[in-house]
Structure 1
């Protein structure tokens, strides 16, 4: 398919989304309150989100068509904005000083008012302009912004305010830019705050907003007032983005699926945003960026998103309410609009005219390390699946004794599976886990683990990563709000668990050693992938003096993917004194009982342990163990 055909298809898809929400707008158009159970912040915030997040998409359509507007989007959203910012209107918006979520939505308003300035802002009545400035201006000097991607919401709002003669704080912008710089990590990555929070926010927020901000009217003056040089900063941002895209492109499955990892997954094809950001910034190969972005959107479109009513729901391929965090409401899924940012670029842009290029997983097997999140990335061309084995991400900091978030702390994530996300999964990890079990069967958590610096594999036919955790049982605080991170609570030490992963192709060889178990009656359990229909998860014991008991955990509706899941596990009791080795495999179903498996040999002397993995194709990887 050519780029112009892609663009026409995406435009039609966007127009369907915008048309479908019209019946749910309030009489003034200021609130777009979509059907469904209200979000944790209430109906008023839901309606504001529904307006602001669809305004993002409407703005992209207007900008990309240079103001041509057969659907009357500019008039429609201008009328809604006029009512929303009017403090005396019965359909006025929740204000930023009244609820923190309004600070998020204010950024979308400001971004699109800047992007569509000739067709929306310049045509607003002076009184509406004044009320808009007053509404947005309440963020100036507000100290209530979390230390994460939210800092960009204030930067964007204050930049727009300054461009229209509104209030502005150079100190605010300087502080927020400094926070953004603190989030910078090696290899092009950002952490979403001070914790090891690596997820899609790195791309759809922390890389996206700097690119768009640099193109806002007066951004250079705002940066200068804050003691910064926009040209220098933007050059560094583009370099960082280019490196990130190398990893991000390798994380897209051949079927267009993003990695099912991290919070806010209901934003779905917002995962395409960093590829469009690359196109806007002029970094990366435009044909490849377009292919990745459009493939992600098509992945969902081909699986029934949106539904027959044209609406985006809380879910993934279909409505699935448990995917929501506390902040998720009926309008929240429309942050997916970011995944259609490419429509803001005209049809003459090189991202639309360049020939399409295959994704990395389509060109051949991929085996690499994303150092910042601590991921071994292994993609296999024959099945198109991307897998990551995780020894660096947990949405915590080293030494924390909190619960494992299934969205962050599991040992593996993929484009073909979802972590189990039912209530029990937050309390007692099963899938992609190494846990100690007490007499009642309660499983430990590993959040707060320490990544290990391991000797490079020899020869370079595999990737070796590892971590050591002070495993702990947790009596959780069930009243804590769900923002995607692990549950707080009272922790009880269980033992020190070292896990080393040797990765190649569809296999992980997982080596485990337990030291100082606190409960002599505890058992060790190793869990595999939670595989749904069409895929199979396999666990095979490769090393250990104790023969394990095999079992499976079957769940009917524990993930946002359709169908039941089966998670194999191996249980060792008593806990072995030395290393245990397990082969962990994810592939397409059906899997034969004669699936070729790796061989694991352990050599030990007085100073060093070495694991030699012989893969099914005869290649070998040697790992030096801690």
Structure 2
């Protein structure tokens, strides 16, 4: 296991070069150095940059860049609506000093909702994306109702009501979008405007079907787990609650929402790296520090599940992580990218105004400086306190964090943005076996589809098979002989390829069409502890198999950077950047090793390296075994593994002397001891 390290005061990367942190910041925020003044300064810098791209009456904010899939007019509406939400947080938290900011956005509200204005916005009944922005407008107006809404002319209020009302009775995708209509119509109800109680009830009923174990909420009925659980499905309920009248019958739902948020937050704080980096998994990553939103939602809800000092440390860590990497950039703008502009990060619905959904992660500035989340002393993240090994049942994740390097890793046996038994093309942000806070999956270039990272696949004609539609059998935590935990998970899939697939959304949703060719059955089991995963793979012929394949290939963690060094030997392969080492070690059954090198394949660096192992397709039903490691420090020795002669059990010896004895799955059933 990677060596331990404790949380400490340090020169946190969230500080810009030359920035001096005052003594109160150091005492109050000993880990990040960020206090409320840092947050306000960042918000002001972003809002000032927004003013520079505004139309004459401020309704359209045209950030530079290539228009998104919905066109330049939608991009400009997004620019206003999403920065307005940030401005609303700023005004709500400091109403006495933000009068000019409120007036500036009030003029934009007038121009955008005036049907005769040259700056008028596309309406929710004209373009689907306007429904998303309508929710941002409703939230902003609600939070500033005493400062902005109450001071608008009746004509402007009527215009806004007419604009938002075009969502009433409308349709939306069956996912987090249901909250958009709920908050829009709840705001209309709160100002005495026409709305539909039936719409609200139907949407809330639908949203209730997305709840899963442990406070997790799927973004729809499928296995769609990602940051939307936090920055949408837990974010909107706490704001919606503040819109409700005291006698609203929907208050009966609130205990369920509060309890789910509490449970989710306990998991969520385990998914942040010590450098503040959030888990790089799931769509819409260009929203960046929107990942901080659920922690502020917890503060707004006065949760007792996570202490306020830990909530702020999580949120400040995420935002300062991006600030330290010039996001926003030196002009105060957010590009389509991650640490910097990188267009492949964007989905096809993303435009130049889209990244400002990051504003959700700044909800905390709407809370007064006297709130406990601002007055408490920061507390360290779980990965800063010690080794982390955690099971998260709903998404089927094993979480492993190591304080020596601050990296959090997720081994995935439950999420693919699909359904068990429905075979489709793997979404690289959902269906891989591993995600972390320090690595990005290969998202661009030929390797991203032909020979992907973090995979177990049959290769046929130079193309690796997909795993989506797999079945999860076990996600558990087992005890080593010294009492420390290890993670144990098993899933099974039919290797398959989809030919002649039609164009489809680029964010993971399965899309009908194409021809599925089936290969052999693959059972994969993961034993996880510290920086290492022991991966067991077994191949069995499938009754519907039509493709035999050329070889079985297991690929490890991709590392990215300005330079990549790599090497391979009969025993395995390694790829290193200036800050990471990725290693894969052959333990049983593998005959070939290699490293795959790619250019401009991730947003973490111009070059990437992925180590891999391969073997001829076995026909004896035995286990192939590999050790897969990732660390920001020198990896310790790979675990050693002894599989019994009957392939029923395995004994794993870790580098610190701990031992795990496991029972390997027979076919579709598995257990651990």
> TM-score with structure 1 length normalisation?
0.94
How many angstroms apart in 2 are the aligned matches of 1:253 and 1:117? Answer: 37
2:464 aligned residue (422, 427, 443): 443
Given that 1:429 and 1:445 are in contact with CA atoms closer than 8 Å, whether structure 2 keeps it comes out as: no
Q: Could you say which residue in structure 1 is the equivalent of 2:220?
A: 193
Question: Relative to 1, partners in 2 of residues 1:11 and 1:354: Cα closer, same or farther, differing over 3 Å?
Answer: same
Q: Could you say which residue in structure 2 is the equivalent of 1:365?
A: 387
2:129 aligned residue (101, 114, 117): 101
How many angstroms apart in 2 are the aligned matches of 1:486 and 1:557? Answer: 26
Question: Relative to 1, partners in 2 of residues 1:603 and 1:491: Cα closer, same or farther, differing over 3 Å?
Answer: same
SS in 1 for 2:523: strand
1:62 aligns with 2:91: yes
How many angstroms apart in 2 are the aligned matches of 1:97 and 1:499? Answer: 47
Unaligned runs of 5+ in 1: none
Shift of 1:427: 2.7
SS in 1 for 2:610: strand
How many angstroms apart in 1 are the aligned matches of 2:509 and 2:260? Answer: 26
Given that 2:477 and 2:486 are in contact with CA atoms closer than 8 Å, whether structure 1 keeps it comes out as: no
Shift of 1:603: 2.0
Shift of 1:193: 0.4
Alignment of 1:212-361 (within 5 A): 212-216=239-243, 218-220=244-246, 223-224=248-249, 228=250, 230=251, 232-283=252-303, 284-361=306-383
How many angstroms apart in 2 are the aligned matches of 1:134 and 1:564? Answer: 51
Q: Deviations over 1:555-614 (max 9, x none)?
A: 1211111231110011112435311000000012666xxx41101111255xx8112211
How many angstroms apart in 1 are the aligned matches of 2:34 and 2:552? Answer: 54
Question: Relative to 1, partners in 2 of residues 1:419 and 1:209: Cα closer, same or farther, differing over 3 Å?
Answer: same
1:183 aligned residue (210, 218, 226): 210
Given that 2:519 and 2:548 are in contact with CA atoms closer than 8 Å, whether structure 1 keeps it comes out as: no
Question: Relative to 1, partners in 2 of residues 1:152 and 1:521: Cα closer, same or farther, differing over 3 Å?
Answer: closer
How many angstroms apart in 2 are the aligned matches of 1:288 and 1:427? Answer: 39
How many angstroms apart in 2 are the aligned matches of 1:80 and 1:353? Answer: 35
1:619 aligns with 2:658: yes
How many angstroms apart in 1 are the aligned matches of 2:415 and 2:96? Answer: 43
Question: Relative to 1, partners in 2 of residues 1:615 and 1:34: Cα closer, same or farther, differing over 3 Å?
Answer: same
SS in 1 for 2:442: coil
Q: Deviations over 1:398-451 (max 9, x none)?
A: 11111000100000000000011014355324210000011x211100000000
SS in 2 for 1:563: strand
How many angstroms apart in 1 are the aligned matches of 2:393 and 2:556? Answer: 23
Given that 1:458 and 1:623 are in contact with CA atoms closer than 8 Å, whether structure 2 keeps it comes out as: no
Shift of 1:478: 5.0
2:420 aligned residue (398, 402, 407): 398
How many angstroms apart in 2 are the aligned matches of 1:586 and 1:554? Answer: 17
Given that 2:426 and 2:508 are in contact with CA atoms closer than 8 Å, whether structure 1 keeps it comes out as: no
How many angstroms apart in 1 are the aligned matches of 2:324 and 2:517? Answer: 47
Alignment of 1:592-607 (within 5 A): 595-605=636-646
Q: Could you say which residue in structure 2 is the equivalent of 1:584?
A: 628
Shift of 1:219: 4.7
Shift of 1:140: 1.0
Alignment of 1:11-22 (within 5 A): 11-22=40-51
Q: Could you say which residue in structure 2 is the equivalent of 1:571?
A: 614
Given that 1:403 and 1:427 are in contact with CA atoms closer than 8 Å, whether structure 2 keeps it comes out as: no
Q: Which runs of 4+ in 1 moved over 6 A?
A: none
Cα RMSD after superposing both structures: 1.7
1:23 aligns with 2:52: yes
1:418 aligns with 2:430: no
SS in 1 for 2:558: coil
Q: Could you say which residue in structure 1 is the equivalent of 2:191?
A: 164
How many angstroms apart in 2 are the aligned matches of 1:357 and 1:329? Answer: 37
Given that 1:556 and 1:564 are in contact with CA atoms closer than 8 Å, whether structure 2 keeps it comes out as: yes
> TM-score with structure 2 length normalisation?
0.88
Given that 1:522 and 1:575 are in contact with CA atoms closer than 8 Å, whether structure 2 keeps it comes out as: no
2:144 aligned residue (116, 130, 133): 116
Given that 2:427 and 2:507 are in contact with CA atoms closer than 8 Å, whether structure 1 keeps it comes out as: no
SS in 1 for 2:137: helix
How many angstroms apart in 2 are the aligned matches of 1:127 and 1:261? Answer: 45
How many angstroms apart in 2 are the aligned matches of 1:30 and 1:425? Answer: 42
Unaligned runs of 5+ in 2: 1-25, 561-576, 666-673
